Amino acid sequence: MKVQIVRLVIASCTTFLAVYCLVYVMGNSTANRSDASSANLTNSSFVAAESVENVTPLTERDNNDPAEAETTSNVFSIDESWFQGTKEERGRFARLLRAQRAPELAADQWINTDAIDLQQQQGKIVVVSFWSTWCQRCLKSIDFNNKLYQHYQDQNVSFIGVCANEGAEDMAKIVQSKGIKYPVCSDLPNNKTIEAFQVQAIPSYFVIDASGQLRFADVKRGRVDDAIEYLLSRR
């Protein structure tokens, strides 16, 4: 009788331990899967948030595109990642990109240069940057623009900053205080040049090839030098 009781107690303890271990292992497995799923969701959300860039009607761009992240690949695989906005939004540039010549610059108040006529720039690649004195992202781009201008100025590449008419009265002061080295000008009333280039958000970069044709419309800042190198390689 005593032996049977002992055996029953041992069997009960063994069953309890087995059930406890099984529950413990399943609990840890579920927790790990939940943690992994949460981590993947967080990482995916971060990537998606970083890749979205909004285009808004003639206003300062609102995105998280820090200067230090703007590195170039030096591989000329032109795709959607080179440009601002979606393919559908960039449909407004279709006529400009098909035209034999880019729109002329209807501008005045030239600084750091005499007035520039794009027709006289044939043989040169021309980068046109649209900006404004009230646009903080534009002001933060000045250092990048200066470096780009200085790097390519001996390679038949011109850089022009076209300032939106609103706030253009402060342009000369900004040129001096921020040390702008490249040619700048102010757009005419009603922003005729901005309208001609179909600009909806600033800062914006457009690249014209040596024949005077617009080749890159609203290219991302971090891809401007790729666009230049692409055109230089095809001369």
Q: Give me the residue spans of the domains in the chain.
A: 1-51, 59-232
pLDDT (tens digit per residue) in 38-83: 333 223 222 222 233 333 346 787 654 434 334 444 556 888 999 9
pLDDT (tens digit per residue) in 107-153: 999 999 999 999 899 999 999 999 999 999 999 999 999 999 999 99
Rounded to a whole number of angstroms, the CA Rg of the chain reads: 29
Q: What is the pTM of this model?
A: 0.71
Residue 32's alpha-carbon distances to 21, 22, 27, 45, 102, in angstroms, are 17, 16, 9, 20, 58
Q: Which two tokens stand for residue 200?
A: 């909806």
Q: Residues 168, 109: contact at Cβ < 8 Å?
A: yes
Handedness of CA 206, 211, 212, 215 (dihedral sign): negative
Q: Which two tokens stand for residue 194?
A: 């901005």
Q: In what order do the strands lie in the sheet with 204-208?
A: 107-111, 184-187, 157-163, 125-131, 204-208, 214-219
Q: Residues 199, 59: contact at Cβ < 8 Å?
A: no
59-232 fold = Glutaredoxin (3.40.30)
Q: In which band, very low, low, confident or very high, does the pLDDT at 16 lie, cut at 50, 70 and 90?
A: low
Residue of higher predicted confidence among 45 and 207: 207
* Statement: residue 179 has pLDDT above 70: yes
At residue 83, the 3 state secondary structure works out as: strand
